Chain A
Amino acid sequence: MNLFKNMTPVLLKGDRIVSNKIMMLASITGSIAAVLIWWGVYKNLHAASKFLTYSIFKVEQGTHFGFALEFFFYDLPKVMMLLTLVVFGVGILRSFFSPEKTREMLAGKSEFAGNILAALLGIVTPFCSCSAVPLFIGFVTAGVPLGVTFSFLIAAPMVNEVAVALLYGLLGFEIAAIYMGTGLIIAILAGWIIGRLHLEKYVEDWVIQANGDATSISQDKMTWEDRIVYGWETVKEIIGRVWIYMVLGIAVGAAIHGFVPENFMASIMGKDAWWSVPIAVVIGVPMYSNIAGVIPVVEALLGKGAALGTVLAFMMSVIALSLPEMIILRKVLKPRLIFAFIIIVASGILVVGYLFNILI
């Protein structure tokens, strides 16, 4: 990109339009080439992982270790590549949204429609749980109903691009779609229930008094070049944050694949172990772990006989609810509301867990 930027001053002013066209053409051909290279590498990962394990590292074929190593060399680049592509795409999409715009869209919305819109916007609005508190205050003082605010706060971390990319890469399209769909339904219904219960009095008093001046600040105009830069920055930031968890998670997953006997998990996390779903939720709720590390382990457990519903419940409770987040939210919510929030979301996850264990 910079290369072309530096070239433009050489051209005369009258050629500006022409140079813009050249730049456009160059970036389009560049993007197509990048996608083709990406696809070529992606398609050949399996062969490469076999070659690396058995020819370069000279591990004996058919051993536990060889199987685990091959698995590791296949999954790690695959997931990294998928993650880069998905995060970049979502980054471009997110450059069209901001929490301020989302707030404007949600202010004064009726309850049920508002919950649905809030959960959907939760996917595309740039959000960091570290700024959940200013976001909460900003939403509530601008007239976004409490339940609608919660739908957003549940969906934003739960249905995120890292989770969806990893689920798609490791477990396939169907499970990624099931996760997204049920995550959205939980966010919509849990928010709606919180709204119906009229828990506004359990928001800390100072929040209501805070007079946030909700006049929107003019949004910076972004060009397509800015959006592409924004997309790449998102990729660097997210990959930089999660890669270590991913490597660890895939290593543990690969070890499980190679060494744990088939059907080992069936008795502990299988369909017939009815108590496994609530236990998965109870362990998952306080746990704060990076989703990039959890999903590869979960995938390995599924391969060893764990039931989908149980595993789904565990993943959701790890991502949607966490102790650090509750501590942050305690600044704006009284304990009763935090408690209600945890119970309602956890119940939703329980229902999802049982539902999938029964259905599949």
Chain B
Amino acid sequence: MEIKVLGPGCPKCKKAEKIIKEVVSESGSDARVEKITDMMEIASYGIVSTPAIVVNGEVKSKGKIPKINEIKAWLKM
């Protein structure tokens, strides 16, 4: 599984990355978490608000820090 955190470096983006990494390591999932700051790549997902979370190529959340329950639900997919 591949999780991308899209964000140019806003405070919320950093928090989103941190919380996802924590949930992933707690759950023992093998998901890879990657922070994307490249504008071209961020734009290619068609999102306007950051941070956005992309799980296996699909935009799951945008403009907010995801809740722990949401992240857990993605990891179970």
Which A residues lie at the B interface, using CB under 8 A? 98-100, 103, 126, 128, 130-131, 133-135, 137-139, 141, 206-207, 210-215, 217, 331-332
Contacts and interface: CB of A to CB of B under 8 A. Distances in A.
B62 A100 contact: yes
Contacts of A100: 47-49, 62-63
A215 B46 contact: yes
Nearest to B60: A217
Given A98-B49, A99-B49, A100-B49, A134 B59 contact: no
A130 B40 contact: no
Interface string B22-50: 00000000000000000110111111111
A214 B63 CA distance: 15
Interface of B: 6-13, 39-40, 42-50, 59, 62-63
Given A210-B44, A212-B43, A130 B8 contact: yes
Nearest to B50: A131
Contacts of B48: 99-100, 103, 131, 134-135, 138-139
Nearest to A137: B43
B15 to A, nearest CB: 11
B69 to A, nearest CB: 13
A322 to B, nearest CB: 16
A139 B50 CA distance: 14
Contacts of A212: 43-46
A98 B50 CA distance: 11
Contacts of A103: 48
B44 A134 contact: no
Contacts of A126: 49, 63
A217 B47 contact: yes
A139 B46 CA distance: 10
Contact of A138 (B7, B11, B13, B46): B46
Interface centre among A103, A138, A206, A211 (most CB of B within 10 A): A138
B59 A211 contact: no
Residue among B13, B43, B45, B62 with the highest chain A CB neighbour number at 10 A: B43
Of listed B9, B45, B48, B62, residue having the most chain A CB within 10 A:
B48
A131 B39 CA distance: 10
B47 to A, nearest CB: 7
21 contacts: A98-B63, A100-B62, A130-B50, A131-B50, A134-B8, A134-B39, A134-B43, A135-B48, A137-B42, A137-B43, A138-B47, A139-B48, A206-B40, A207-B43, A210-B44, A211-B44, A212-B46, A213-B46, A217-B47, A217-B62, A331-B39
Contacts of B8: 130-131, 133-134
A21 to B, nearest CB: 27
Contacts of A99: 48-49, 63
Contact of A131 (B10, B40, B44, B46): B10
B39 A137 contact: yes
A100 B43 CA distance: 13
